[in-house]
């Protein structure tokens, strides 16, 4: 039977009203925009952006002064009767990053989703602005929700706002991608819901703090944990549950892809972190963390290799998102020590990686969108010469990629250092290899794209007839560049007030170290790109052509066939029945790992 | 067998049937219906949880009921959204399939049969 509810000494902290505002303002903005309609809708939405950003920044500044998490009790009722909103350091940084990215995307989208003159109301802008604010409100609820059922509602809101973004253009293939996304996400949310029912039945509360005091490793908890985790993995698109991600992220309009790839998948990832680190740090056990990271490693391998074989730029970026999601899940085993998960350096590393991916990937999708707008296509083989037309966008793309490789002073560099340090401390050298491999693969597809962009062209670039240079507004390019720079500078922020960064993990800003840490992944990545990429003019124009053909030729042949095998395996895994069966198999596997591998 | 066990087993059967339908049935409409079947099973399960709470001497635990109402609203909106997408897909493509290897091509070229 459920234990009697223990009294919790929780009260509303000062400044906690900001948490309510962080949810209410975007949602009120969405409602107001809906009511205003037509041309005023966009103005309302754009006016909401700075207010929301100010609230997020205010929360981040209030937190260190009090030193404790912000807590707001809705209606003054303390859990387990009431529902609490809580913001700790993780929430604060995610709130700010989400606000930054949403604001940048909002201004970026001003050019694409502008109601044309002479039209009272257009469908795409009308939907876009409301959906953007809806996603923001849902994300903020995910970050500050203090109750597993609140998180469920937030997760559903996030999915419902994200799915229509995929099919704003109304083409059949994007509609199909949206429907696949919705149906698979619903399967995930049902699993999560069953888990909450089990937890409520076992412990009589869904409040995160109360649950963490009561929870212990019994069968109901293990089943609930594995159901909820796998449900969330389906929404995060961790390999092999990624069938919906590539078509959805590649088919959405640029601003939509940016918000989907940068933020929406982070929402469900954040709930996995909450569940494993805050609700039940002692329940999962060693084997379950290894299983999660194993899936992450497979995601890095499959995502990166298939990304290298793509012909279209947006699909390449979508597959790179898949690999980067895998990278995030390496957090779990590295945070595991002496029987439970610890919120230490590894968790900070994972969150930093999530943040730098959010900013960098948004920048990359924005520049890919601008390239598409200028050329009328995004075939990688046809990108030659675009650097002269859109230098700023290409720079943003390159900087975003470089930031993701993990070059100082980027956030991803600091994340990599933290994760490597945790791998050393917990003596798990195999994850250190995967971490390095992730950086190398990232540089491989960056090199592949840049090599095509910078390739010498014989004839001048043919722009889309009606698409002159002037049609790409300067501020869109500037915003992409700004986000990429933001990702590159994240490592310089003092995170101590929000994330636990162990002493000694400081950025070294010596030029020699910077160069070496940047150069070797790029060099190895370049080799990988040459071996695995699809080159129209093979062999590439490199010195010692004869030698390279004699030596590299056979290696490339086998690498290509390995890549082809991986791509074929990926297309089988992306079949609906296969993904569904994997979903069920993972629930069983994860449950078994938690039960046996303790 | 107590009422809780009977309803719990019914919930499990509904979830199982629904899962089978969602995974194996290729037609999106049937997938949506199967999803609703899973939903019904899960909501019944919430009822069982409320019933177990009632054994402590209360007339019934009200919180799972509140959760179920929210869950039903969410499932309802999910179904509505899925059906709207399905209808649009059918209008745009002339057929409704989720197969990745057979992308609907009629949308871009309506003249094709």
**pLDDT at B108 > cutoff 50:** no
**pLDDT at A542 > cutoff 70:** no
> B24 near A581, Cβ under 8 Å?
no
What is the distance in angstroms between the Cα of A133 and the nearest Cα belonging to chain B? Answer: 18
Query: Which of A170, A177, A196, A201 to mutate to test binding with chain B, by most B CBs within 10 Å of its CB?
Result: A201
Kindly determine whether residue B98 and residue A576, on different chains, have CB atoms separated by under 8 Å: yes
Residues 6+ apart with CB under 8 A from A408: A491, A507, A508, A509, A513, A514, A517, A518
Residue B103 lies in a domain: no
Chains A–B, number of C-beta pairs less than 8 Å apart: 122
Average pLDDT over residues B65-87: 92
> Could you tell me the pLDDT band of residue B55, with boundaries at 50, 70 and 90?
low
> Could you tell me the pLDDT band of residue B54, with boundaries at 50, 70 and 90?
low
> Could you tell me the pLDDT band of residue A7, with boundaries at 50, 70 and 90?
very low
Kindly determine whether residue A2 and residue B107, on different chains, have CB atoms separated by under 8 Å: no
Range(s) of the domain holding residue B52: 3-93
What share of chain A in percent tops pLDDT 70? 91
Residues 6+ apart with CB under 8 A from A467: A373, A374, A375, A376
Q: What angle do CA A340, A346, A349 make, to 5 degrees?
A: 150
**pLDDT at B101 > cutoff 70:** no
> Could you tell me the pLDDT band of residue A465, with boundaries at 50, 70 and 90?
very low
> A536 near A381, Cβ under 8 Å?
yes
Average pLDDT over residues A237-252: 90
Helix (H, G, I), strand (E, B) or coil at A11: coil
| Interface check B71 vs A, CB under 8 A | yes
Per mean pLDDT, which of A81-85, A320-324, A540-544 is the most reliable?
A320-324
What is the distance in angstroms between the Cα of A124 and the nearest Cα belonging to chain B? Answer: 15
Query: Which chain A residues are within 8 Å of B71, Cβ to Cβ?
Result: 193
Kindly determine whether residue B78 and residue A172, on different chains, have CB atoms separated by under 8 Å: no
Q: How far is CA A2 from CA A6, A214, A226, A275, in A?
A: 11, 10, 21, 20
Residue B104 lies in a domain: no
Q: What is the pLDDT of residue A391?
A: 86
- Closest by CA position to A113, among listed A130, A131, A126: A126
Average pLDDT over residues A539-554: 63
Closest partner residue to A194 among B42, B85, B107, by Cβ?
Answer: B42
- A149: nearest CA partner in chain B: B67
| Interface check B13 vs A, CB under 8 A | no
Q: What angle do CA A339, A343, A349 make, to 5 degrees?
A: 120
Q: Which residues of A touch B (CB under 8 A)?
A: 1-2, 149, 152-153, 156, 160, 163-164, 167, 170-173, 175-176, 178-180, 182-183, 186-187, 189-190, 193-194, 196-197, 200-201, 204, 243, 247, 571, 574-577, 580-581, 583-584
Kindly determine whether residue B45 and residue A194, on different chains, have CB atoms separated by under 8 Å: yes
**pLDDT at A439 > cutoff 60:** yes
Distance (Å, whole) CA A383 – CA A461: 9
**pLDDT at B102 > cutoff 80:** no
pLDDT in tens, A387-417: 888 888 899 999 999 889 888 788 888 888 8
Of A52-56, A310-314, B26-30, B53-57, least confident by mean pLDDT is B53-57
The interface predicted TM-score of the complex, written ipTM, equals: 0.89
What share of chain A in percent tops pLDDT 90? 43
Average pLDDT over residues A5-14: 60
Average pLDDT over residues A206-217: 89
CATH number, domain containing residue B78: 1.10.287.3510
> A591 near A223, Cβ under 8 Å?
yes
**pLDDT at B104 > cutoff 50:** no
pLDDT in tens, B86-96: 999 998 888 77
Distance (Å, whole) CA A226 – CA A284: 9
Query: Which chain A residues are within 8 Å of B81, Cβ to Cβ?
Result: 160, 163-164, 182
Closest partner residue to B49 among A172, A180, A197, by Cβ?
Answer: A197
Q: What is the pLDDT of residue B56?
A: 61
Distance (Å, whole) CA A231 – CA A148: 13
Kindly determine whether residue A197 and residue B89, on different chains, have CB atoms separated by under 8 Å: no
> What is the pTM for the complete model shown?
0.92
Question: What is the number of structural domains in chain B?
Answer: 1
**Domain ranges in chain A?**
13-146, 147-596
**pLDDT at A560 > cutoff 90:** no
Round the average pLDDT of chain A to a whole number and report it.
86
């Amino acid at each position: 039977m459920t234990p009697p509810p223990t009294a919790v000494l929780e009260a509303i902290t000062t400044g906690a009203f900001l948490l309510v505002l962080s949810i209410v303002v975007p949602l009120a903005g969405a409602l107001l925009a809906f009511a205003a309609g037509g041309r005023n809708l966009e103005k309302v939405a754009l006016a909401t952006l700075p207010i929301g950003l100010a609230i997020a920044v205010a929360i981040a500044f209030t937190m260190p002064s009090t030193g404790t998490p912000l807590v707001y009790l809705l209606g003054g009722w303390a859990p387990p009767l009431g529902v609490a909103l809580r913001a700790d350091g993780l929430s604060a940084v995610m709130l700010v990053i989400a606000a930054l990215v949403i604001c940048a995307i909002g201004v970026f989208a001003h050019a694409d989703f502008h109601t044309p003159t002479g039209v009272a109301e257009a469908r795409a802008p009308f939907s876009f602005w409301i959906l953007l604010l809806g996603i923001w409100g849902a994300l903020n609820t995910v970050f500050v929700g203090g109750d597993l059922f609140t998180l469920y509602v937030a997760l559903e809101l996030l999915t419902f706002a994200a799915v229509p973004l995929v099919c704003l253009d109304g083409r059949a293939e994007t509609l199909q991608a949206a429907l696949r996304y919705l149906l698979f996400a619903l399967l995930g949310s049902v699993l999560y819901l069953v888990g909450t029912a089990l937890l409520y039945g076992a412990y009589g509360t869904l409040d995160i703090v109360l649950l963490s005091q009561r929870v212990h490793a019994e069968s109901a908890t293990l089943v609930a944990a594995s159901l909820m985790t796998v449900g969330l993995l389906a929404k995060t698109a961790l390999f092999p549950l990624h069938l919906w991600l590539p078509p959805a992220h590649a088919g959405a309009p640029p601003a939509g892809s940016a918000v989907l790839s940068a933020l929406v998948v982070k929402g469900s990832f954040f709930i996995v972190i909450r569940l494993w680190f805050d609700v039940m740090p002692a329940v999962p056990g060693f084997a379950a963390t290894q299983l999660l990271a194993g899936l992450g490693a497979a995601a890095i391998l499959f995502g990166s290799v298939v990304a290298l074989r793509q012909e279209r730029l947006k699909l390449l970026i979508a597959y790179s998102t898949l690999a980067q999601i895998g990278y995030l899940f390496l957090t779990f085993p590295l945070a595991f020590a002496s029987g439970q998960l610890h919120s230490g350096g590894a968790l900070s590393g994972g969150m930093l990686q999530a943040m730098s991916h959010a900013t960098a990937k948004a920048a990359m999708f924005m520049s890919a969108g601008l390239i598409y707008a200028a050329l009328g296509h995004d075939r990688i083989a046809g990108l030659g010469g675009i650097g002269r037309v859109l230098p700023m966008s290409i720079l943003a793309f390159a900087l975003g990629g470089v930031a993701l490789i993990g070059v100082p002073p980027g956030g991803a560099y600091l994340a990599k250092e933290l994760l490597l340090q945790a791998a050393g401390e917990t003596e798990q050298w195999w994850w250190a290899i995967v971490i390095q491999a992730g950086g190398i693969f990232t540089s491989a597809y960056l090199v592949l794209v840049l090599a095509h962009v910078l390739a010498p062209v014989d004839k001048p670039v043919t722009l889309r007839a009606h698409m002159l240079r002037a049609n790409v507004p300067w501020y869109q390019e500037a915003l992409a560049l700004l986000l990429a720079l933001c990702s590159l500078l994240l490592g310089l922020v003092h995170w101590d007030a929000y994330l636990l960064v162990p002493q000694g993990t400081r950025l070294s800003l010596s030029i020699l170290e910077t160069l070496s840490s940047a150069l070797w992944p790029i060099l190895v990545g370049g080799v990988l790109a040459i071996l695995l990429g699809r080159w129209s003019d093979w062999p590439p124009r490199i010195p010692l052509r004869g030698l390279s053909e004699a030596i590299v030729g056979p290696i490339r042949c086998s690498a290509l066939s390995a890549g082809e095998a991986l791509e074929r395996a990926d297309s089988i895994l992306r079949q609906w029945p296969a993904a569904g069966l994997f979903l069920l198999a993972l629930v069983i596997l994860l449950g078994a790992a938690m039960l046996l591998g303790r | 067998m107590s009422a809780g066990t009977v309803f719990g087993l019914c919930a499990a059967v509904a979830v199982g049937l629904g899962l089978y339908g969602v995974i194996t049935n290729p037609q999106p409409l049937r997938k949506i219906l199967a999803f609703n079947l899973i939903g019904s099973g899960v909501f019944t399960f919430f009822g069982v949880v409320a019933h177990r709470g009632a054994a402590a001497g209360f007339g019934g635990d009200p919180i799972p009921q509140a959760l179920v109402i929210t869950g039903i609203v969410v499932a309802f909106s999910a179904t509505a959204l899925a059906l709207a997408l399905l209808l649009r897909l059918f209008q745009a493509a002339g057929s409704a399939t989720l197969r990745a290897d057979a992308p609907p091509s009629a949308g871009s070229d309506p003249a094709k049969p």
